[in-house]
Amino acid sequence: MVKAADGRALAVETVGDPRGRPVFLLHGTPGSRVGPHPRTSVLYRLGIRLVSFDRPGYGDSARLPGRRVSAAAADVRTIADELGIDRFAVLGRSGGGPHALACAALLPDRVTRVALLVSLAPRNAAGLDWYGGMTPSNVRAYREAERGHDQIAASMRFRSEQIKADPVRLLKGLRPELPPTDREVVADTGLRRMLQSNYREAFRHGADGWIDDVLAFTADWGFKVQDIAVPSWLWHGADDQFSPVEHSRWLADRIPGAALYLEPGAAHFGAFRVMTTALSWAAG
């Protein structure tokens, strides 16, 4: 456990080679520090020290009411200082993508590289149809968030209690909206077990992290992606409907020097299959 400057508790986990190149993994939405990642043996082979933490309101990390996406940078800096890490890479998957971008933009003296898997773009992204191609359940949640906290809090708290009691429920609920490639990915027994642990931990103390993530995505992020000056690598499944592929196209067009890889036939959960590649690139 690490304490933030304001006294908040941040739940942190490190795996892999303790002497390896440090990479912060920023989990998805909803998610936690125990979310899916490559096996420890793979991390050792790659020479990576993987650091993950519960964003405020998830798992054992105390809530930060009204947090913006930019707040992740200060928490990552605090954790890095506590662990004695000077320079590090960041990898963000899905809802972790915007938070990884915050680190790259606001910690240019600390972040070496940033990798994004199926990330969202800012809600105020000029020229982007933010809801275009997005699955109906996400559209409903984000539109409710744009109307304020009270619009989404009750429904998300109810859902979180159901998911905590039966983590498979979230995957079952998503199934009608999953393309065949995503159904194949989440059918893997090992991955499903990791996702179940991930969701159970995410909602250990309630839905605040989930609520605050969604509110943060639909508000001003507190930084501009055009200010990112570190090497940037983006991957997106072309059939993704949860974070539509045009979000990564928009980001790649505006982050100086960013490399974008679009995989035909892959979708949102295909990001798990390329996480090892992304970590290897991020670690440099």
- What is the pLDDT tens value at each position of the chain, 284 positions in all? 999 989 999 999 999 999 999 999 999 999 999 988 998 999 999 999 999 999 999 999 999 999 999 999 999 999 999 999 999 999 999 999 999 999 999 999 999 999 999 999 999 999 999 999 999 888 988 888 888 767 678 778 877 777 777 766 666 666 677 788 888 877 778 877 888 888 889 988 889 999 999 999 999 999 999 999 999 999 999 999 999 999 999 999 999 999 999 999 999 989 999 999 999 999 98
Which residue segments constitute the domains of the chain, with CATH numbers given?
2-283 (3.40.50.1820)
pTM score above 0.85: yes
Model pLDDT, residue 161: 78
Q: How many CB atoms lie within 10 A of CB 175?
A: 11
Distance CA 168, CA 197 (A): 10
Q: Which of 127, 78, 92 is nearest to 232 (CA)?
A: 92
Model pLDDT, residue 5: 86
